[in-house]
Amino acid sequence: MLNVVIADDEPLARDRLRVLLEEQPGIRVVATASDGAQALLACAEQHPDLVLLDVSMPGMDGLETARHLAASEPRPAVIFCTAYDAHAVSAFEAEALDYLVKPVRPERLAAALERVRRLTSSRTNGDGATRTRTHLCARLRGSLRLIPVDDIHYLQAEEKYVVVHHARGEDLIEESLRSLEDEFGERFVRIHRNCLVARHELVELKRSPDGHVQAVLRHGRQPLEVSRRCVASLRERLAHL
């Protein structure tokens, strides 16, 4: 039995896919979603074998949703269902298993489902340019919290986690500070080996009574320490803000 989540912002498209899936043997639709955020939450709760994703959805689109799913555990198979074939290359870069163009034909869907069955049966019990994500995902007691990148004030490494300080509080994510810097280098600047700060949050640099340089943030409760090696480049960046 394959457990499936359908994600599409059009109710009629969701209903049609559900009907087509119900005509296939060994399929159970465990949840539907109208956008990427709902799809991620449904997957965190249901742990489906397969997610059928529309590409164009409001907020978090299908391509970004697929990239989040690719980093999740257990990792579901992803099949895109879209009215356009222009995103096919991007879909496979996001590690989708298949790409179906609407209106989805029953025989084409059956073939895609067979690929998913082969993939899931082969698993043991023991896993052009990519768009930058617009959200980070934090795990909270079996569910996910989506944090808009625009709301992040700074990121601070803490043991094997990164603490995301954002407009609504703090959350832990299991990503490295280096990978976040590589992905979001245009948005964040390194002020210390363990800290990245959103450029729009930087207000000024000042010296503490003990002589250390500190960064003052627009929404920071207290200044953050700046390492000696980062001071010169940070002063230059501030001069151009």
Q: Within the chain, where are the H helices?
A: 11-22, 36-46, 62-70, 88-93, 106-122, 177-183, 228-239
pTM above 0.75, yes or no: no
Each residue's pLDDT, cut to its tens digit, for the chain (241 residues) gives 899 999 999 999 999 999 999 999 999 999 999 999 999 999 988 889 999 999 889 988 888 999 899 887 778 999 999 887 665 556 556 667 888 888 999 999 999 999 898 887 755 334 444 456 788 888 776 566 788 899 999 999 998 899 999 999 999 988 889 989 988 988 999 999 999 999 999 999 999 998 899 999 999 889 999 999 999 888 887 876 5
- 53 DSSP β-pair partners: 7, 80
> Is the separation of the CB atoms in 97 and 53 below 8 Å?
no
58 token code pair = 């409001």
DSSP for 104-137 reads: PPHHHHHHHHHHHHHHHHH-------PPPPSEEE
Q: What is the DSSP letter of 175?
A: -
What's the confidence (pLDDT) of residue 47? Answer: 87
Q: Which of 71, 73, 53 has its CA nearest to residue 63?
A: 53
Q: Which of 73, 120, 67 has its CA nearest to residue 95?
A: 67
Q: How far apart are CA 8 and CA 58, in angstroms?
A: 10
